[in-house]
Structure 1
Amino acid sequence: MSLAYPRRQRQLENLIKKLGLSVQAPIRWNLLDMALTHPTASDTANYEQLEFVGDAVVRLAAAVVLWENYADCSVGDFAAIRSVLVSDRVLAQLARSYGLELYLLVAGSATTDQVGQESRLADAFEAVLGALYLSTNNLELIHPWLDPHFKSMAAEIRLDPARLNYKAALQEWTQGQYKVLPEYRVMEIHQPTHSEERFFAEVLLHGSKLGEGKGRSIKAAEQAAAKVAFLSVSPPQKD
Structure 2
Amino acid sequence: MLKEKLEDYIGYNFKDTSLLELAITHPSFAREQATPDLNYQRLEFLGDAVLSCIISESLYNLFPHYREGAMARARSALTKGKFLTQLSKSLHVMDFIRVSEVEKKAGGNTRNAALEDALESIIGAIFLDSGFEQTRSVVLNWYGDIDTHLNELLINENPKGILQEKYPHGSIKYELISESGPPHSRIFCVRLLVNNSIVGIGVGPTKKEAEEVAAQQALLMEPQQTRPNG
Counterpart AA for 2:21: D
Q: Tell me which protein shows more helix as a share of its residues.
A: 2
Structure 1: runs of 5 or more not aligned: 1-9, 167-191, 197-214, 221-235
Q: CA deviation at 1:150?
A: 3.3
Report if the CA contact (8 A) 2:54-2:136 is conserved.
yes
What TM-score, normalized to structure 1?
0.60
Structure 2: runs of 5 or more not aligned: 31-35, 160-177, 180-187, 191-206, 213-227
Among 26, 44, 58, the residue aligned to 1:38: 26
The SS at the match of 1:141 is helix
- Provide the rounded CA distance (Å) in 2 between the counterparts of 1:54 and 1:44: 17
Among 77, 82, 95, the residue aligned to 1:89: 82
- Provide the rounded CA distance (Å) in 1 between the counterparts of 2:7 and 2:133: 14
RMSD of the alignment, in Å? 3.5
- Provide the rounded CA distance (Å) in 2 between the counterparts of 1:54 and 1:48: 10
Q: 1:53 aligns to what?
A: 46
Greater shift, 66-75 or 47-56, is seen at 66-75
Report if the CA contact (8 A) 1:48-1:127 is conserved.
yes
Report if the CA contact (8 A) 2:78-2:150 is conserved.
no
Report if the CA contact (8 A) 2:77-2:154 is conserved.
no
Among 135, 138, 156, the residue aligned to 1:145: 138
1:125 aligns with 2:119: yes
Q: CA deviation at 1:129?
A: 0.6
- Distance change (3 Å), C-alpha of 1:164 and 1:149: farther
- Distance change (3 Å), C-alpha of 1:150 and 1:71: farther
Q: CA deviation at 1:66?
A: 1.1
Report if the CA contact (8 A) 2:24-2:121 is conserved.
yes
What TM-score, normalized to structure 2?
0.62
Counterpart AA for 1:41: F
Among 105, 108, 111, the residue aligned to 1:112: 105
Matched residues, percent identical? Answer: 24
